[in-house]
Copies of this chain bind each other. A is one copy, B any other.
Amino acid sequence: MAPTISFARGAPSLDIVDVEGLRAAADRAFQKDPAGMTAYGTAVGYLPLREWIAEQHGVSPERVLVTNGSMQADAFLFEALVSPGDAVIVERPTYDRTLLSLRQRGADVRQVELEPDGIDVAALERVLVAGARPKLAHIIPNFQNPAGYTLSAAKRERLLELAGEHDFVVFEDDPYVALRFAGEAAPTMLSMNPDRVVYASSFSKTVCPGIRVGYLVGPEPLIAQVQKLAVGAYISPNMVAQGIVNEFCRSGLIQSSIETVKRALRERAETLCTALERELPGARFVAPEGGYFLWVDFPRGTDVEALFTAALERGVQFVKGSDFVLEGGESSLRLAYSGVTPVEIEEGVSRLADAYGAVAAAGASADVA
């Protein structure tokens, strides 16, 4: 059989990673700051990178803490803010690892429907008015994982109003923000209300995932609290990796890397949308304006579980919609286009359509029987 085509993993293909730039950045970083790169450093992260991040967000460095990837930032934040039984708002659907992490902490996870312009703030208000007292709302504002949707400027404002009225923290989880290839950017909620928001992002999508550098921006007392957790967990995050990222950023390599990534993602997203329209006319989706993901809703009753198996048999992988929700999602799926070339996308959608046809035919004959 031909090699499997994976729409499953939200990761870049190697051809859009600037390996030569990383090599050069590593070389210069070791030359420029051998002491800072090789010593334990501090739990808040490599100080020059902390300062660079602070400048990007227009905040003081004391509000920034760098971590070994942004998952680790999430884990620290949840450890600091969420106790068993605490209500936490998340989008529906949302990132499966976030769901799992919150449930493992014993949080009372409340999913609020995600619309193409972001979380349904009216539905959220109803949940709040009905008595929910969430500690925080986890929001992926740009090119959401898994849906690919983006929170509108108006909803950002409304969300912050609700957070103020009902006294919860907005956790703005924003790893894809730099990957906009169409449309207009909205301001970060962090910039709109820095005391109500904790912001997380990462260099996994703009440098590479293997570098494992993420960060938090938040109020100083919270950052100090997370710093203590970080000391206890690992003394300090990886200084070599952060030194390389710092050099990659300050030398401007990150800008050309982002341009490369966006160019590729735009082409991949367009190829995917065109192929889906042509091959799977029953599939509903919103063309993404950036990021890695596209969410597909099939007509109600479509058995995506069976589609998953049929697709696997034909050498194509995706993630089932049900992985991203507490209940339901049986007729939806997530396609990641970040790790596949246009040629693979064409072939992958063709295989997916074939699988869909087979499942639909089996369903029809089962209905008859």
Give the Cβ gap from A237 to chain B, nearest Cβ, in Å: 7
Q: What is the CA–CA distance of A5 and B41 in the complex, to the nearest angstrom?
A: 18
Interface pair A40/B11, CB less than 8 Å apart: yes
- CB-CB under 8 A from A97, the residues of chain B are 232, 235
Residues in chain B near residue A240, CB distance under 8 A: 22, 26, 208, 210-212, 240-241, 244
- Closest B-chain residue to A36, C-beta based? B210
| Known contacts A75-B234, A235-B71; A208/B31 CB under 8 A | no
Majority-rule SS of A interface residues: helix
In the complex formed, the residue of B with least CB distance to A35 is B14
User: What is the 8 Å Cβ interface bit string for chain A, positions 168-180, against chain B (1 contact, 0 not)?
Assistant: 0000000000000
Whether the pair A38, B22 counts as a contact (CB closer than 8 A) is: yes
**Residue contact B209 to A238, C-beta cutoff 8 Å:** no
List chain B residues, Cβ under 8 A from A235: 69, 71, 97, 212
In whole angstroms, how far apart are the Cα atoms of A11 and B42 in the complex? 13
Indicate whether A23 reaches chain B with its CB closer than 8 angstroms. yes
Beyond A30-B26, A241-B241, whether A69 also contacts B210 by CB under 8 A is no
Chain B positions within 8 Å of A36 at CB level:
210
Which residues of the partner chain B approach A234 to less than 8 Å between Cβ atoms? 68-69, 71-72, 75, 212
Give A81-119 as 1s and 0s: 1 = Cβ < 8 Å from B's Cβ atoms.
000000000000000010011001000000000000000
How far does the Cβ of A258 sit from chain B's closest Cβ, in whole Å? 15
> A14 CA to B68 CA in the complex, in Å?
23
- A68 and B23 contact, Cβ closer than 8 Å, known pairs A208-B39, A232-B104: no
CB of A17 within 8 Å of the partner chain: yes
Does A233 reach chain B (CB closer than 8 Å)? yes
Q: How far is the CB of A178 from chain B (nearest CB, A)?
A: 17
- Decide if A206 is an interface residue (CB 8 Å cutoff): no
How many copies the complex holds: the figure is: 2
**Smallest CB separation, A84 vs chain B (Å):** 14
Give residues 173-204 of A contacting B (CB, 8 Å): 204
* Residue on B nearest A72 in the bound complex, by CB: B234
A307 an interface residue at 8 Å Cβ cutoff? no
Knowing A234-B68, A244-B240 are in contact, say whether A17-B30 is a contact too (CB < 8 A).
Answer: no
Q: Inside 8 A of A11's CB, which chain B residues have their CB?
A: 39-40
A243 and B244 alpha carbons, distance in the complex (Å): 14
Q: Mark A68-79, 1 if CB is under 8 A from B, else 0.
A: 110110010000
Partner of A37 from the list B37, B72, B101, B210 (CB cut-off 8 Å) is B210
* Shortest CB distance A144–B (Å): 18
- CB–CB B232/A210 < 8 A: no
Complex Cα spacing A224 to B27, Å: 36
Specify which of B23, B35, B101, B210 is in contact with A41 (CB 8 Å cutoff): B210
Could you tell me the distance between the alpha carbons of A68 and B211 in the complex, rounded to whole angstroms? 12
**Chain B residues positioned under 8 Å from A35 (CB to CB):** 14
Interface residues of A (CB under 8 A from B): 9, 11, 14, 17, 19, 22-23, 26-27, 30-31, 34-41, 68-69, 71-72, 75, 97, 100-101, 104, 204, 208-212, 232-241, 243-244
The 3 A-B residue pairs with the shortest CB-CB distance, nearest first, are A210-B239, A38-B208, A19-B34
